[in-house]
Amino acid sequence: MCGILAVFGCIDNSQAKRSRIIELSRRLRHRGPDWSGLHCHENCYLAHQRLAIVDPASGDQPLYNEDKTVIVTVNGEIYNHKQLREQLKSHQFRTGSDCEVIAHLYEEHGEEFVDMLDGMFSFVLLDTKDNSYIAARDAIGITPLYMGWGLDGSIWFASEMKALSDDCERFISFPPGHIYSSKQGGLRRWYNPPWFLEQTPSSSYDPIVLRKAFEKAVFKRLMTDVPFGVLLSGGLDSSLVAAVTCRYLAESEAACQWGSQLHTFCIGLESSPDLKAAREVADYLGTRHHEFHFIVQEGIDALEEVIYHIETYDVTTIRASTPMFLMSRKIKSLGVKMVLSGEGSDEIFGGYLYFHKAPNKEEFHQETCQKIKALHLYDCLRANKSTSAWGVEARVPFLDKEFINTAMSIDPEWKMIRPDLGRIEKWVLRNAFDDVQKPYLPKHILYRQKEQFSDGVGYSWIDGLKDHANKQVTDAMLTHASFIYPENTPTTKEAYYYRTIFEKFFPKNAARSTVPGGPSVACSTAKAVEWDAAWSKNPDPSGRAALGIHSAAYEEAVAAKNKSSLSGSPKKLQGVGEKAAAVV
């Protein structure tokens, strides 16, 4: 990941202002420690901190068109840049950077080219011919972007809030799938897939189509000129990413630049569930596995730095970000600059606990849509900023545009959790990779129950955080929390503690408004309670109190599966591919 900062319409264009822009851009250097760049044009500034993944030798930014009248600063990866270059043969490219196509696409298509990009990105582009500019963010919000306004009438864009929070009176999280145009004077949505309207789809489920779509999503994310690996927790999602990557490395000569043995990484407390599960998957796949340990106190000691980097006070995000932050530092120390990760699957396939209570397929689908739309505020933010804090780039194949469109077009009846049919959560994904002839993963791993949120790194992690917060926040402080924090008032001591740290770094109203409102409940908010009133009694955002619901449903599904197996012949699915047609 790189760090970008752009400012337009400054009244002051003195040397002092240039120095200030450099100083603010330097706050993003952790995102791009490899090189810095700055382009100034009249009252406009485009700054860049580079993490070199593709074309490390010549891809420094900002990037330009042929006559340097178009300047662009980009944070991200454009996976289809080679195909786009074929469409731009009349243009002369200066670098091998995947991001340079943006400048030339703008010349050819104007502002309407963004949907042609396949990748994760946030970029700002200046056209000096008329001093117009645009800014855009990828479809789901995998890469972060903030937009701010100064008292002098200037408009700011930055990868992280810390680069503009001091100099802007107001700022917001730039919405995913949107473009800002100075010519048209505002934000507009460029990403408009069918699922976005939340209408229930009716396409039949074909496991082979789903499998191939995911494999393609993983393959394209192996575009790199630097060492890479996979974050492997041992759960379904990360294990599938690792399994598909291993197959690609074994079959593709071009992918073997860094050796045919995949590097995998996992972190946890001593004897944590994730460490055990990840080691089992790594042994099966034959990866070069790296296992990192931490203790609760080390995580607590890192909290202030974590909150500074991830820029949120959301409880579940902080809990999960801290181990990821610690692991990223270790990964960087090994010389690895890019990793693949499994974020997004639970949102697409309804993998969270409360989806067991979905009353019908319509509500199930609508909730998955809502979860995907909010990913930029939670899991995308965590994955990107936790790794970028140490100059590591995280790529997320489950959030590939084409894969999401494929998965979200499936009739949600197939995604519903049906213990009576042996279908546990995310069954359509598990079934798609249940290949008897050439297994991707052993059955017991492919159908392993999802670990509770934040518990996988070690069951004492959340308890340790709560105990620490209880010592820092008194009963009186929590009682009067609504007077101190009237907006998004914390309801637990842990939430109060994180809020105090956040406010120390980001004291403006605009900063606290970038964090989602209301109590942080990882299992969603009102929808979980609407489906089952018992969820309202769960004060912990990890959903731990509902573990019994989850375990009971899982055991019922396993029993149904075993009963089906003992009956002599497996039930057949209607409208699915032949290779994965048996109910498991």
Task: For residue range 257-284, list pLDDT tens digits in order.
Answer: 666 789 999 999 998 989 999 999 999 9
Task: For residue range 305-344, list pLDDT tens digits in order.
Answer: 999 999 999 999 999 999 999 999 999 999 999 999 999 9
CA distances from 131 to 8, 43, 127, 158, 406 (A): 9, 10, 5, 19, 40
What is the distance, to the nearest Å, from the Cα of residue 320 to the centroid of all Cα atoms in its chain?
12
Q: Which residue has tokens 């040397």?
A: 15
| pLDDT above 50: residue 362 | yes
- 98 marked ligand binding residue: yes
CA distances from 583 to 407, 557, 561 (A): 19, 11, 8
- 441 marked ligand binding residue: no
Instruction: Give the H or E element holding residue 266.
Output: strand 263-268
Share of the chain above pLDDT 90, in %: 81
Task: For residue range 487-506, list pLDDT tens digits in order.
Answer: 999 999 999 999 999 999 99
What's the CA gap between 316 and 320, in Å, rounded?
A: 6
Selecting among 2, 99, 168, 246, the annotated active-site residue is 2
Give start and end residues of each alpha helix (H) in 138-184: none
Max distance between CA atoms of the chain, in angstroms, equals: 81
Share of the chain above pLDDT 70, in %: 88
Per-residue pLDDT band at 353 (split at 50, 70, 90): confident
- For residues 201, 204, 209, 211, the Cα torsion angle rounded to the nearest 10 degrees is 80
In 87-114, which positions are buried (b, 16+ CB within 10 angstroms) versus exposed (e)? ebeebebebebbbbbbbbbbbeeebebb
What is the distance, to the nearest Å, from the Cα of residue 187 to the centroid of all Cα atoms in its chain?
22
| pLDDT above 70: residue 552 | no
- 346 marked ligand binding residue: no
**DSSP 8-state symbol, 510:** H
pLDDT at 34: 94
pLDDT at 524: 52
CA distances from 20 to 25, 34, 167 (A): 8, 21, 10
What's the CA gap between 56 and 34, in Å, rounded?
A: 9
What's the CA gap between 158 and 305, in Å, rounded?
A: 20
pLDDT at 457: 86
What's the CA gap between 367 and 484, in Å, rounded?
A: 33
Contacts of 382 (CB under 8 A, 6+ apart): 310, 317, 320, 321, 324, 343
Beta strands in 434-581 (DSSP E): none
Catalytic residue list contains 246: no
Task: For residue range 418-473, list pLDDT tens digits in order.
Answer: 999 999 999 999 999 999 999 999 999 999 877 654 567 878 999 999 999 999 99
pLDDT at 579: 32
Q: What pTM was estimated for this model as a whole?
A: 0.92
Task: For residue range 130-172, list pLDDT tens digits in order.
Answer: 999 999 999 999 999 999 999 999 999 999 999 999 999 999 9
pLDDT at 574: 34
Task: For residue range 8-59, list pLDDT tens digits in order.
Answer: 999 888 899 999 999 999 999 999 999 999 999 999 999 999 999 998 888 8
Show the domains of the chain with their CATH numbers.
3-192 (3.60.20.10), 199-566 (3.40.50.620)
pLDDT at 456: 77
Give the side-chain half-sphere CA count within 13 A for 284: 21
Q: What is the mean pLDDT of the chain?
A: 90
Q: Show the 3-state SS of 331-351.
A: HHHCCCCEEECCCCHHHHHCC
Give start and end residues of each alpha helix (H) in 334-459: 345-349, 361-373, 379-388, 401-408, 427-432, 443-446
